[in-house]
Amino acid sequence: MHQLDVRLPMGLLFLTLGIILVVFGVISDPAIYAQHSLGQNVNLTWGALFALFGVTMLWLARRARPS
Amino acid sequence: MIESFPSALLAQLPIHLPLALTGGAGSATAGGVALKLAGVDYLILAVYFSFVLGIGWVLKKHLKTSTDFFESGRSLPAWICALGFIGANLGAQEVMGMAASGAKYGIATSHFYWVGAIPAMIFVGIFMMPFYYGSKARSVPEYLKLRFDEKTRTFNALSFAVMTVFSSGISMFALAKLLNAILGWNFDACIFISSVIVLIYIYTGGLTSAIYNEVLQFFLIVLGFLPLVLLGLKDIGGWDGLMQQLGAYSEAQGMPGAWNHSWAHLNEASANPIGIEWFGMVAGLGFVLSFGYWCTDFLVIQRAMAAKDMNSARRTPLIAAIPKMMFPALVILPGMLAIALYHKGGTAAIALPMGADGHPDYNMVVPVMIAKYFPNGMLGIGLTALMASFMSGMAGNVTAFNTVWTYDLYQRWIKPDASDAHLIKVGRVTTVVGLMISAVCAYAATKFNNIMDMLQLIFGFVNAPLFAIFLCGMFWKRATGHGAFFGLLTGTLTAAFFQGNTVPAGETASLLKGGWMSVQHTFTSSMAQSFWMAIFAFSGCFLGTIIISLSTAPNRTDDELRGLVYSLTEKVVDQQGTPWYARPAVLGVIVLTLTVALNIVFW
């Protein structure tokens, strides 16, 4: 593996973006979803997916780290 | 019209610069689309760019030699190189241009992937990578030097260097123009900030930083645009609803079913919206242009050459081919959805802005879809993904440019005894200079549209025949340096002669459109003219190389050609114990089978 495992920054980035989206999805006005995303709170669902992807990447990076 | 895909291929296709993207400067609603960002969107942008810059900063500490800077120390695993390989291509030309083409041509746009990319990616991985990687050449032009001679190398290095800064300039220009149009951001500030961001992360971390960011950008673009497709599909009534709408649209255009099928309407050029028949498609796009790009362009080959070993280098394009074959769902489908929703009307309808020609401006498909389906939050993600795609286009070109300039031009012609530390310094200075020239190109594009179109045309003449000399060089040991160089010139002249004698339908003869010598043939579309020009240019170069090689003495001994030519190189054998999924030949068969299946399913 290279000097920096790319899965580490990738995991952190997507986890951070995921958390931002989820938090915004919870506090935002539901009207914006009716107006844009066919009534679905995409920030919440897609934010959760981003966070899950981020955690998976972090787990993979940690698993690959030499002990 | 941003017609299509990888930036270097822009030079070979009838592309008009995306000047039509927008109206005038300064207005947030120019082009008819206005996005309103909220605090959360700015926060997402800030987080993303902090990571982009942070990666360069962290990698800087590990960067010690010029091999680290220009070749990632030849140390990366296959999957990272593979994602960099396609990430470098997932530029805005692909994301926005393919959506535009999806609206214009329907499912047949997938030919740019299933015919115009995958077969060539398999070929380069299985057959050509052993020579690129095994020869220890540091760049594609350097391979040409080892195989042929210095003049062929310098010719390729010069044309490539000019083309990369020009392509980077196009990305920069298009990004600034788009942000100016949809957000009202200042054009000059966009050029400056995008240049500085790309500069910092390449300057600090070199090729590794560029590739790592391409990996990040790849996932951001995939995950960022996927909900757009899912929401659009839901809105139109699923796949069946989309097919129904496209069927009605095709009928209204006088080509029933043409938007719903990839092959069924290619018997005649006049029966499909691309205006090309199957032979021109397969030979022109599928063979000459596609192989010419994927198998010889240093921008993509550089990513595979950064791999840690031969097996990884060979698997790089093969692994990349798997997501690549799925991309039509991500980048073409939005265009198909947009045209279907546009014509469906009612509550689901979307409002595409009108272009100067009185037709909907298909270049705006992606921004329009983002504006329609993404609320604040996801809007920030979509915009970040869009900006990331422009920047990956810039960074890919700049890293290829600084390597070719430093190794093939500077070290060869200016300072052959340069120390390693000096080369890193030159690479960094070249990054700054390359971005400055790109910015000049971007500003030139705002003033002299015709000059840029003309440059693209000239690159088209130079690039179209290029694959012929690689084919001869790698698979025919008798090909000589003179044969390759003058074969290339023959191909270039053939291209110019062909273009000078043909025009696309509906165009008057001119230097840019063709027919400036005489009009011997009129093509159904400019796309058809380009594909056939490529076929002729390749044939001219191929025959020229063979004839001139046979008339000149070989300039390399068999010993010198070992590792560079197929018949004189030991076949690469997979190490014992390599699992089946890590064997390039097995991967190649799997990828090819899946591609054939996709062609049949969407026939």
The upper half-sphere exposure of residue B309, i.e. CA atoms within 13 Å in the direction of its Cβ, equals: 8
Share of chain A above pLDDT 90, in %: 64
Query: How many domains is chain B partitioned into structurally?
Result: 2
Region of B529 (left: φ > 0; alpha: ψ -120 to 50; beta: rest) is alpha
- Both B564 and B588 in a single domain? no
Contact A38 B376 (CB under 8 A): no
d(CA B482, CA B152): 8
- Of the candidates B314, B286, B292, the one whose C-alpha atom is nearest the C-alpha of residue B118 is B286
| CA neighbor of B400 nearest in space, from B100, B59, B138 | B138
The torsion angle over the Cα atoms of residues B234, B235, B240 and B242, rounded to 10 degrees, is -130
Angle at B401 between CA B396 and CA B402, to 5 degrees: 105
Residues of chain B with pLDDT under 70: 1-32, 346-348, 448-453, 455-456
Q: How many helices and strands in chain A, by DSSP H and E?
A: 3, 0
B292 Rama class: left (phi>0) / alpha (psi -120 to 50) / beta: alpha
- Same domain? For B477 and B568 the reply is yes
Q: What pLDDT does residue B63 have?
A: 84
What is the Cα–Cα distance from B388 to B87, expressed in whole angstroms?
10
User: What is the three-class DSSP state of B396?
Assistant: helix
Take residue A37 and report the two structure tokens written for it: 């995303």
In angstroms, the first-to-last Cα distance of chain B is 27
In the stretch 182-201 of chain B, residues with CB closer than 8 A to chain A read none
Q: Which domain holds residue B454?
A: 7-27+65-463+573-601
Q: Which two three-digit tokens encode residue B334? A: 């939005």
Q: Is B55 on the interface with A (CB under 8 A)?
A: yes
Tokens read off for B376: 């604040």
**Per-residue pLDDT, B3:** 39
Two tokens at B230?
A: 């899912």
- pLDDT grade for A67, boundaries at 50, 70 and 90: low
Place of tokens 């018997």: B267
The answer to whether A37 contacts B231, with C-beta atoms less than 8 Å apart, is yes
B26 part of contact set with chain A, CB < 8 Å: no
For chain B positions 530-559, those within 8 Å of chain A (CB to CB) are none
Residue B39 lies in a domain: no
User: The CATH number of the domain where B205 resides is what?
Assistant: 1.20.1730.10
Q: How many domains does chain A have?
A: 1
Contacts of B430 (CB under 8 A, 6+ apart): B401, B402, B405, B406, B410
Nearest to B598, CA basis, from B335, B337, B322, B340: B322
Q: Is B75 on the interface with A (CB under 8 A)?
A: yes
* Chain B residue whose CA is closest to A47: B378
Angstrom distance (rounded) from CA B420 to CA B234? 56
- For residues B376 and B485, membership in a common domain is answered with no
Give the gap in angstroms from C-alpha B217 to the nearest C-alpha of chain A: 10
Q: How far apart are CA B2 and CA B212, in angstroms?
A: 27
Residues 6+ apart with CB under 8 A from B516: B500, B509, B510
**Cβ within 8 Å, pair A17-B373:** no
pLDDT one-digit tens code per residue, B564-592:
999 888 888 888 888 888 899 999 999 99
**B44, B75, B231 member nearest A38 (Cβ):** B231
Q: Pick the closest to residue B41 from B376, B370, B369 (CA basis).
A: B376
Inter-chain residue contact B223 with A33, CB threshold 8 Å? no
Per the structure block, which two tokens stand in for B422? Answer: 């000096």
Which residue's entry shows tokens 């600034």?
A: B176
Residue B76's SS3 state is: strand
Tokens for B588?
A: 């190649």
Q: Is residue B35 part of a domain?
A: no
CA B380 to chain centre: 25
Q: Tell if the CB–CB gap between B47 and A16 is shorter than 8 Å.
A: yes
In terms of domains, do B275 and B406 share one?
A: yes
Which of B82, B77, B86, B87 is CA-nearest to residue B52? Answer: B87
Residue B406's nearest CA partner among B63, B163, B62, B70 is B70
**pLDDT at position B5, please?**
40
Secondary structure (3-state) at B521: strand
pLDDT of residue B11: 41
Judging contacts by C-beta atoms under 8 Å, the chain B residues touching residue A6 are 80, 212, 215-216
Flag whether B175 is in a domain: yes
For residues B485 and B425, state if they share a domain: no
Residues from chain A contacting residue B235 (CB–CB below 8 Å): 38
In whole angstroms, what is the distance from residue B161 CA to residue B410 CA? Answer: 12
Phi, psi of B211 (to 5 degrees): -70, -45
Whether chain A has a CB inside 8 Å of the CB on B62: the answer is: yes
- Is some CB atom of chain A closer than 8 A to the CB atom of B228? no
User: In terms of domains, do B174 and B242 share one?
Assistant: yes
CA distances from residue B103 to B46, B107, B448, B479 in whole angstroms, order as listed: 32, 9, 28, 44
Judged by a CB distance cut-off of 8 A, whether residue A48 touches chain B is: no
* C-alpha span between B16 and B470 (Å, rounded): 29
* B375 in reach of chain A (CB within 8 A): yes
C-alpha–C-alpha distance, residues B389 and B402, integer Å: 20
Whether residue B410 contacts residue B401, with contact meaning beta carbons closer than 8 Å, is answered with: no
Query: In which region does residue B545 sit, left (phi positive, over 0), alpha (psi from -120 to 50) or beta (all else)?
Result: alpha
Question: What ipTM did this prediction achieve?
Answer: 0.95
Decide if A2 and B372 are in contact by the 8 Å CB cutoff.
Answer: no
Nearest-CA distance from B376 to chain A in Å? 8
Report the residue of A7, A24, A32, A53 to disrupt the B interface, i.e. the one with the largest count of B CBs within 10 Å.
A24
Domain, as residue range, for A30: 7-64
B219 touches A at CB < 8 Å: yes
Give contacts of B210 with chain A, Cβ < 8 Å: none
B60 within domain boundaries: no
Question: Nearest CA of chain A to the CA of B306: how many Å?
Answer: 11
Are both B239 and B354 inside the same structural domain? Answer: yes
Are the Cβ atoms of B377 and A12 closer than 8 angstroms? no
- Count of CB pairs separated by less than 8 Å, A with B: 96
Asked if the C-beta of B51 comes within 8 angstroms of chain A's C-beta atoms, the answer is: yes
Residue A31 inside a domain? The answer is yes
Model confidence pLDDT, tens digit, residues B187-200: 899 989 989 999 99
Among B220, B236, B381, the residue to mutate for chain A (most A Cβ within 10 A): B381
Residue B593 belongs to some domain of the structure: yes
**Interface touch A37/B54, C-beta < 8 Å:** no
B561 with B590, same domain?
Answer: no
Give residue B352's pLDDT.
80
Closest CA relative to residue B2, chosen from B113, B92, B106, B77 = B92
Question: Does A57 reside within a domain?
Answer: yes
> How many C-beta atoms lie closer than 10 Å to residue B316's C-beta?
34
- 3 state SS of B510: strand
Both B424 and B506 in one domain: the answer is: no
B43: closest chain A residue by CA = A20
Give pLDDT, residue B12. 44
Looking at beta carbons, which residues of chain A come within 8 Å of B378?
A: 21, 37, 42-43, 46
Query: Which DSSP string corresponds to B414-449?
Result: I-TT--HHHHHHHHHHHHHHHHHHHHHHHHHHHH-H
Closest residue by Cα to residue B187 from B171, B173, B169: B173
CA distance B551 to chain A (A): 49
* CB atoms A32 and B51 under 8 Å: no
> Which among B208, B373, B374 is the nearest to A2, CB-wise?
B208
Report yes or no on B386 lying in a domain: yes
Tokens of B459: 């690159």
CA distance B377 to chain A (A): 6
Is A50 part of any domain? yes
Min Cα separation B510/chain A (Å): 46
* B223/A50 Cβ within 8 A: yes
What is the 3-class SS of B309-366, one letter each residue? CHHHHHHHHHHHHHHHHHHHHHHHHHHHHHHHHHHHCHHHCCCCCECCCCCECHHHHH
Whole-number Å distance between alpha carbons of B294 and B121: 6
Asked, for residue B309, whether it belongs to a domain, the answer is yes
Residue A1 within a domain? no
Say if B522 falls within a structural domain.
Answer: yes
